[in-house]
Amino acid sequence: MLSTIVFKPFRSLAVLHGDEKINDQMATRGRAAVVVLGDIGRSPRMQYHALSLARQASLEVDVVAYGGTNPHNAILENPCIHLHKMKPIVFRSLPKSVNIFLLPLKGLLQFFMLLWFICVKIPPPDVFLVQNPPSVPTLFAVTLASWWRSSKVIVDWHNFGYTLLALSLGRNHILVKIYHWFEKHYGRKANGSFCVTKAMQQELAQNWGIKATLLYDQSPEFFHCASLLEKHELFCRLHEDLIHSRGVQDCISCGKGICEGDAFAGNTLFTIQDGGEILLKPDRPALIVSSTSWTADEDFGLLLEAAVMYDRRVSAILDEDDSIDDELLWMDISNGKRYLYPRLLFVVTGKGPDREKYEKQMKKLHLKRVAFRTMWLPAEDYPLLLGSADLGICLHTSSSGLDLPMKVVDMFGCGLPVCAVSFPCIEELVMVEKNGLLFSSSSDLADQLLMLFKGFPDGCATLKSLRNGALTKGASTGWANEWEQQALPLITEVISEKTR
């Protein structure tokens, strides 16, 4: 649970700066507002900000965001954090050409709703911490509210909103150009900024005139390698979701009898309970996890193509007849026959607009050794899944080329090695052949799967080496330490300017 995060002892801003005046004012007006024009339950970085503001900066925190997905329990249980949930504005079942013309209307409605919350519904904060993107209408609304309420503004740059809009409209579209101007103009009005990569920090400084503090994403302490007991209990909870393939028979949903043994209490697809001892099955499939928001900046077609290639290449390497009956192969596996290359079970977690499209494509695949499952996990189970997996896959390509996928940070926190799509900034996070691998095509990824899982589970030296590197990377620092070193000084400085 998130409530187990180990933070350093709380220290007031005054203690950090030796200023009793600040301490007195913080005691009466110590308040921050975290603003997210999105689902707070799917905004982990902003949740961690809220926790650090409450715990490490000793502030009262108002979170203004959309509802939808429950945030971590630590957010809900912290008496210093107050959630204010807005209702999303959604136009459904309209053609794309019509939606383009409705974008300004949607932005206007969001603007007035957000303004009502941050100007009226919450107490006056000393500082607004706003997530970007989205930039429209968030930056303008927060700028106006900060003037009205005599507050300061800090922008946390996760990416650039205009580049995300360009994915659907193109870089030369007039709305993208207007968005770019808006984002740059109001971003420069903030009193401080955070960003997620060195490349983004340089871009903001050189081309936007914005000095940003680099605050790398880090995983909290509840991301860790799962114990055998944690794995077993998780797989027991997920058993039905894992073995049922939603209408398509595959190497996991079994065919005749392949999973009958797993139906008994104490056994799962990956583990078996022998008396009081829990063991990993030697013939288990390799578990590969990919988490996603199912958006246009992640091409899951690459993963599906790589899965098909893996399946066909294994058959070719083993010199299997194409006409071999799937049921016979699966029965051999069920009876304990070991192969040089394992079955692969891809579990894709997350919610988003493209999920249904890719699920339909997954169902059309006819694969002997690969299966897919999609699911949304509770906040407490997601870290356990990462900590129980054998490999993570990241398909994030970055619309700007300047941000880093937080999902990889979480994977490293669990000691999970990663295969990630290559783009300019990714090597700030993924160190090739140390904690992960990079690929540029589906063929590259298929080759990596063959190399990493040859001899699974006992003969995978490269996979074990990458796992050790991921463990080292995940243990190097944590969110609380990173936040205290990089974020707290800026928060302190901005609030102290307000009190002068």
Predicted pLDDT of residue 222: 74
Predicted pLDDT of residue 357: 87
Cβ-based neighbours of 408, under 8 Å, separated by 6 or more: 392, 394, 396, 418, 420, 429, 430, 436
Nearest Cα neighbor of 235 from 204, 179, 191, 273 is 273
Return contacts of 10-15, CB within 8 angstroms, 24+ apart. 10/55, 10/56, 10/58, 11/56, 11/58, 12/58, 13/57, 13/58, 13/491, 13/492, 13/495, 13/496
The structure tokens 């140390």 sit at 434
Compute the chain's Rg from CA coordinates: 24
CB 420 within 8 A of CB 438: yes
Predicted pLDDT of residue 25: 41
Residue 463 CA to residue 389 CA, distance in Å, equals 12
Whole-angstrom CA distances from 312 to 391, 438, 463 are: 20, 22, 22
Point out the residues of the chain with pLDDT beneath 70: 1-29, 91-101, 245-248, 254-265, 323, 475-476, 499-500
pLDDT tens-digit map of 48-60: 999 999 999 999 9
Beta bridge pairs of residue 195: 157, 214
Predicted pLDDT of residue 96: 58
Predicted pLDDT of residue 285: 94
Residue 282 CA to residue 458 CA, distance in Å, equals 8
Token readout for 72 is 């971590």
pLDDT tens-digit map of 194-224: 999 999 999 999 999 999 999 998 887 778 8
Give this prediction's pTM.
0.81
CB 194 within 8 A of CB 215: yes
Residue 419 CA to residue 408 CA, distance in Å, equals 9
Residue 293 CA to residue 422 CA, distance in Å, equals 18
